[in-house]
Amino acid sequence: MAQVFPDQEGPYSGRFPRSLLFTDKNNFGPRIGIAWKPKASSHWVFRAGYGLFYNPSVYPYVYSQLVGQPPFAVGQSLLTTLSNPLTLQNGFPVDPNVTILNTYAIDPFYKIGYVQQWNFNIQTQLFKIYTLEAGYNASKGTGLDLLRAPNRAPPGVSPGSTEDNRVISDAGQFVYQSNGASSVMHGLQLRLSRRFSHGFRMVNSYTFGKSIDDASGIGGGNLVVVQDENNIRAERSLSSFDQRHRFTSEFNIEIPIGERRKFFSNASRAVLQAISGWNINGSYSLNTGTPLTARILGNISNNSGSGSNQSERPDSTGISPALPGDERTTGHFFNTQAFAIPAPGVFGNAGRYTIPGPGTNLLNLSLRKSFRLDDNNRRIEFRWLVTNVLNHPNFSGVGTVVNALNFGRVTGGGSMRQIQLHLRINF
């Protein structure tokens, strides 16, 4: 972080290479997979795999951020007069007190983080038409992206003079990207599928898992600046995308009436035309929610310089923020007594993602029928779709800012039951 050119040294980032980032030469990503079947006639199959993955897409993000930083962008005010106008020949005079516009800087030794993934899966066939799978999968992230705010004033300084207490006094607040984060995830998967037979097909899946990290994001995207860069361990928590339980089901049913079906197959041609070929398709999701983080609006701790990058958290009162399901309401979704505003100049001690988020309970159904018009394969397709058949409320937003009016309240939700009719002519 400095108004520097390549191969010069800045007060925080250190010496830049001529390429602005030292070359990362170790992106070797091996992958291996194994499948074993005890006998050719066996219904059992065992699979295992391992892979090491990198994400080079971080570089476009880094380049787009560096374009607006010194030496490519600085802020300077110049007062001109008729006798001393600003011209292209003279340009802006060199001013040692020029304001640095940095909002972003990066560790010149930055290296792309990597994720190791491994899994083990067992599959067997049941009753000829069912397939049962059970699997364990895990991942471990190393050197993942981490954003810091190193130009904050130290905690505990006088609330009225945060600008003068910055580490680099002539620079505004900026974020500093490094690769110091890590993650770990373990999960169990169960899957039962029924191949299409006798007019019925289904796929059911259940996942139980847990993910922990100290920064949830890749390449700077969706990342929040750490609260206290001198205490990265305080960022260790559930991941923003952690979803403990997830169940999904998809199915297709051919209604057994009409031509070449179990019922009314001998009806008249006109009746068969009307009752044959009806299908029901459906999907059902039942999931626990992803966790939420309690935050503070503005610079309550008075130690961030200008703004807080949405990273300042409140104090924990020792009370669990989770409420029993029958006590949750739209106006009181979690226990707001679990958090309190910390003293000025002090970071809050509440962790990241400690609030259970809203889950999902969603059933969608559709009824479909295709009518043949003539021998030229012209058809009319009719579909009746019903989303959220159970009319179950699925909340999508909860207020988590402690000193905001909507703290603890539901702020958004998914659509309630909707019915749609579609008529399509194919010719």
Closest CA to 191 of 133, 127, 244: 133
Residue type, 358: P
d(CA 44, CA 37): 6
For 8-113, where are the E strands, in sequence order?
9-10, 14-15, 31-36, 44-54, 74-75, 99-100, 104-106
Structural domains in the chain (count)? 1
Interior/surface letters 27-44, b for 16+ CB within 10 angstroms, e for the rest = eeeeeeeeeeeeeeeeee
By the 10 Å C-beta count (0-12 exposed, 13-18 middle, 19+ buried), 167 is classed as: middle
* Domain annotation covers residue 110: yes
* Domain annotation covers residue 162: yes
Question: pTM (2 decimals)?
Answer: 0.81
**Domain residues for 46?**
19-77+98-244+288-357
Q: What is the pLDDT of residue 167?
A: 65
d(CA 150, CA 336): 31
* Domain annotation covers residue 83: no
d(CA 383, CA 279): 9
pLDDT tens, N- to C-terminus, the chain (427 residues):
444 455 556 666 666 667 777 888 878 899 999 999 999 888 999 999 999 999 877 777 777 777 766 656 666 666 777 777 777 666 666 655 555 555 677 888 888 889 999 999 999 999 989 999 999 999 999 999 888 888 776 666 555 455 556 666 666 667 888 888 999 999 999 999 999 888 899 999 999 999 999 988 755 456 678 888 888 899 999 999 999 999 999 999 988 887 777 777 777 777 777 777 889 999 999 999 999 999 987 655 444 433 445 578 999 999 999 999 889 999 999 999 999 999 887 889 999 999 999 999 999 999 998 877 777 778 888 899 999 999 999 998 899 999 899 999 999 998 999 999 998 888 8
* Domain annotation covers residue 419: no
Q: What is the pLDDT of residue 309?
A: 56
* Domain annotation covers residue 283: no
- CA distance readout (Å), 263 to 114, 258, 270: 58, 6, 15
Q: What is the pLDDT of residue 304?
A: 43
Q: What is the pLDDT of residue 322?
A: 94
The answer to whether the CB of 319 falls within 8 A of the CB of 340 is: no
Residue type, 397: G
Three-state secondary structure call for residue 157: coil
